[in-house]
Structure 1
Amino acid sequence: MRKIMNKAKVMSWYQWTTVGGRVLTRIISFKGTVIQCVKQLQRKTPQYLWDVFVKRKQSGYFDHIKENADDTTVVCQVDYTESYTLQDQDQIQSAHWSKKQVSIFTAYIWMGGSGWDGYSFGFVSNLKKHDKFTVITYLEILIQEIIALMPDVDQIIFFRMVLPLELLFVITWQGVVDSINGTLKRFVWMGVMAGARCSSAKEFVNICRRKTKTILVALVQQAQFDTTEALLKTYFQNIVGVPNIRKQHHINVLNKDVIECALYATCKDKYVFKF
């Protein structure tokens, strides 16, 4: 603060803004004095340092689990933050962009005893919603694929790094699932530039399947999401919510209706919650 030469100078800055507890998907412009901007940074610093600490703890645990998983354990990293804007070659050349998008759920699994080798997955749908019903649907499909590959699997450990948006540009941890996502998008882009049509999730999947055999790419239909919601909607309406669930980065299932929560995987302070 003492080294700021002109605290009253007016400046502009950009930051992510929350509304009703949800982070907006766009950056908001703010205008104020230098000292106002610095104070805003000061307020965010403690949370930033905590998030970096958690990221490092989770990353270390992630590497440890992969290296020490036994023959009946599968370690799975997932990501469901990406979408792809559909367009054909004529739209690209005319600078007209379609607003229609498809959602992409990516995953990579390591099987115990296999070293660093694993399997890549990309599940694509026309549904743009990212809620608990869509996530459950994708995970159920993924689990069935895992069981088909490893029938004697006894434990599946899921990892997904969730960070505030302001940290996503500073911390890169997702790695392989980001790579899968980028690869699929690149395949489709190359296909479109070569004249292929891509106006739906089905056509997106078809292009990817022609381009790669190493990534298992599948289409998820609307009916599958509807089935999940129909089965679980009433259940979720009546269930008791887990306290401070957004702050818990480690959840261990102890029984069908009992979980153990912690701020991060190796944290000694844990609590058990029964539904």
Structure 2
Amino acid sequence: MAMTNAERMKKYREKIKKDKVKYEAMKAKARARNNSIRTVLRGASLAKFRAENKMRQQKFRENKKQSLIDKPFPSSFKSRQSFGKALKKVNSSLPKCDLKKKVIIQHIAQSVGLVPKSTHKRTTLQLADKLKNDVHNFYLRDDVSYQLPGKKDTVVVQEDDGSKVTYQKRILFNNLRENYELFKEENKNVLLSRTSFAELRPPFVVPKAALAHRNCLCLYHENICLLLKSIDKYVDGKFCSSLQIFTDSLVCSTNNEECMFSSCSLCEDFFTEKVEENVSDGNAKITWSQWINENGRAEKKDFSGSVDEAREQSKCFEKLKEEASDEKIVLQVDFAENFNMKEQDEIQKAHWNSKPLSIFTAYVWSKNENFAFALPSSDITHDKFVVDAALEIILNHIKAHWNSKPLSIFTAYVWSKNENFAFALPSSDITHDKFVVDAALEIILNHIVTILPNIKVVDCFSDGAASQFKQRFHFRNLVQIANEHNIDLSWHFFATSHGKGVVDGIGGTVKRLVWSAILAGEVCRSAEDFIKIAKKKTKKVILIEITKNNIDTSKNKLESIFKTAKSIPETLKMHSVKVVDNNTLEFRYYSSCFQKKTVKY
């Protein structure tokens, strides 16, 4: 009867093993083959190979150990009688209790190596995936950390599958202890240690200490922090140990508007009771540093009100993002730092005569999809017309369903229920004026309407830049935009110096991608070149140019409308504007404030 393949191979291996030279040559050939396979493995394949190899080695060691245990030991007794006497002697010495007898026999067997010694296995409680995701999302909240806008502000993170992803760096506002207390306050039923909370911090979210040079911070908050740092050593207790503890100790509730604006009679004496009466040395001289305005006007501002504005606007922002749907979207816009167009290996004269490019960035949140926009422009005025043009482009682009042409860069981000959108609108117009803003908004809104035709409500967030957004011309234009697109439009302003967000990351990302291409030899001399390069590098950001025609169209459309613009009292204090009807605006100090002021045109 013929042998099977398995039998033939078995016979062949037995024959090879008898010839030591051939056997060693075969093993060397197998090693070389296995090593060549390992060298080409990457990512998930390499991780899988290592895991299988580890399990194979572990199984081999266990089998080897078991074979040694099962192997009979040579007898030390000359006869069965002598063995029986020794066994009887041992049994008579053992306790009569079966449990005690088992413990002693087990201990003797372990001491002579018959059975392995028992090892204590430490059990650890695994955190639920939902809790891990909640902590991860907490770190990414805009009221917990802010995103750096620079093209070099990135962190490369290796994912579980072995791939590497570049993230825009985020900086924590507070230290880990304060963030942990805030998380516990919001999630009182969650059991999580501070160590685990710190370990779950994403690698691209870093503490303040990781920043070599910090800038663009809030003037009011930093001045109070500088003061608290100096007086903490002279005040008993921990009332001045951190900014959050200090503000919490001065009010009945941080959620009460009257308390935060010093209008509550119950907590008006808290500063005297908790700070002044706990001063350890009343004769000590304290010195501290303060940021001041050298040029222009300086204004004294109520600090607790500033804290409340920042918190309330952040809460409103997060709430509206969660409520985003196909009919109600959230849009965040801002101008990125101007981009200087350079070339690799350029001569000295060219280096000192580079042309700046303005970039209007935007991000759209919706129900099913988000959109990132970067709108470059050569107009660097950053005025109201540039803003209008950028918004026009974004809306038109969403209408046109991704028919985008991505240099000032106007950035925007839109949140909806199922989908978010990131916008970067480059433009050769770097004025950043009201006409560029209008052109950018027109682009963004038209694009959104195309993708989400059922859109009815738009809540837009931005910083309070007076030359771009927080001004009477832009307020007047909001009525026009709402009427043109038949939408319920509201515009919210973040508190002073608290406007950093995802749109800054969009601007930094597209500039980094284009700059990397320039270093590799690509040429970028215009907004068209910028868009062409950026579109090769990313598909996640919608890139459309704010052209001169877009801005001119905004100027022609708005010149007559702006003649009816009215000066709004207390513009600097207003943080929420809502279009009520065809000629009416509603202003609030912050988005959830009960007090409101109405202006008719």
**TM score, norm. by length of structure 2:** 0.37
Counterpart position of 1:52: 307
Cα pair 2:363 2:502 within 8 Å, conserved: yes
Deviates more, 1:227-236 or 1:250-259: 227-236
1:15 shift after superposition:
4.9
**Alignment counterpart, residue 187 of structure 1, candidates 502, 513, 537:** 513
Distance 1:173 1:100, change over 3 A: same
Shift in Å, 1:119:
1.1
Q: C-alpha separation between the residues in 1 aligned to 2:357 and 2:561?
A: 28
Hey, what does 2:208 align to over in structure 1?
none
Of residues 50-59 and 124-133 in structure 1, the stretch that sits farther from structure 2 once superposed is 50-59
Partner of 1:273: 599
How far apart, in 1, do the equivalents of 2:311 and 2:352 lie? Answer: 39
Measured in 2, the distance between the counterparts of 1:121 and 1:153 equals 18
> How many percent identity over aligned positions?
32
Which position in structure 2 is the counterpart of 1:31?
none
CA contact (8 A) 1:59 1:173 kept: no
Q: How many angstroms apart in 2 are the aligned matches of 1:14 and 1:173?
A: 19
1:108 partnered with 2:363:
yes
> Using a 3 Å threshold, how does the CA distance of structure 1 residues 48 and 202 change in structure 2: closer, same or farther?
farther
Which position in structure 2 is the counterpart of 1:234? 560
Equivalent residues in 2 for 1:106-145, closer than 5 Å: 106-112=361-367, 115=417, 117-145=419-447
- How far apart, CA to CA, are the structure 1 residues paired with 2:294 and 2:550? 34
Q: Is residue 336–residue 507 contact of structure 2 (8 Å, CA) maintained in 1?
A: no
More strand by share: 1
Query: What is aligned with 1:28?
Result: none
Structure with the greater alpha carbon radius of gyration: 2
TM-superposition CA deviations, 1:217-275 (whole Å, max 9, x none): 11111121011112211321233233233321100111111111011101111111111
Report the 3-state secondary structure (helix = DSSP H, G, I; strand = E; otherwise coil) of the residue aligned with 2:321. Answer: helix
> Which SS does the other structure have where 1:52 is aligned?
helix
Range with greater deviation from structure 2 (95-104 or 246-255): 95-104
Between the aligned partners of 1:242 and 1:269, the Cα distance in structure 2 is 16
Does the 8 Å contact 1:80/1:106 carry over to 2? yes
Structure 1 residue 134: deviation in Å? 1.2
Matched positions, count: 245
Correspondence 1:74-93 to 2 at 5 A: 74-91=329-346
Contact 1:250 1:265 in 2 (8 A): yes
The equivalences for 1:249-264 within 5 A come to 249-264=575-590
Q: 1:133 to 1:48 in 2, by over 3 A?
A: farther
8 Å Cα contact 1:85/1:98 also seen in 2: no
Which amino acid in the other structure matches residue 146 of structure 1?
Answer: I
1-structure distance, mates of 2:557, 2:318 = 36
Q: C-alpha separation between the residues in 2 aligned to 1:67 and 1:16?
A: 39
Asked whether the equivalents of residues 86 and 98 of structure 1 are also in contact (C-alpha less than 8 Å), the reply is no
Instruction: Check if 1:243 corresponds to 2:563.
Output: no
What does residue 72 of structure 1 align with? 327
Higher relative helix content: 2
Distance 2:559 2:328 in 1: 31
CA distance in 1, matches of 2:293, 2:345: 34
Q: Distance in 1 between matches of 2:329 and 2:367?
A: 6
Question: 1:203 Cα shift?
Answer: 1.2
Deviation (angstroms), 1:90: 2.1
Root-mean-square deviation over aligned CA pairs? 3.1
Q: Which letter maps to 1:273?
A: V
Letter in 2 for 1:238: T
Change (3 A) 1:217 1:92: farther
Secondary structure, counterpart of 2:314 in structure 1: helix
Equivalent residue for 1:218? 544
SS at match of 1:253: strand
C-alpha distance in 2 between matches for 1:123 and 1:143? 13
1:44-82: CA deviation from partner (whole Å, max 9, x where unpaired): 5x3555433312110100111111234410111111242
Q: Does 1 or 2 have the higher relative contact order (CA < 8 Å, sep 6+)?
A: 1
Contact 1:137 1:224 in 2 (8 A): yes
Is 2:328–2:455's contact at 8 Å kept on the other side of the alignment?
A: yes
Distance 1:70 1:206, change over 3 A: closer
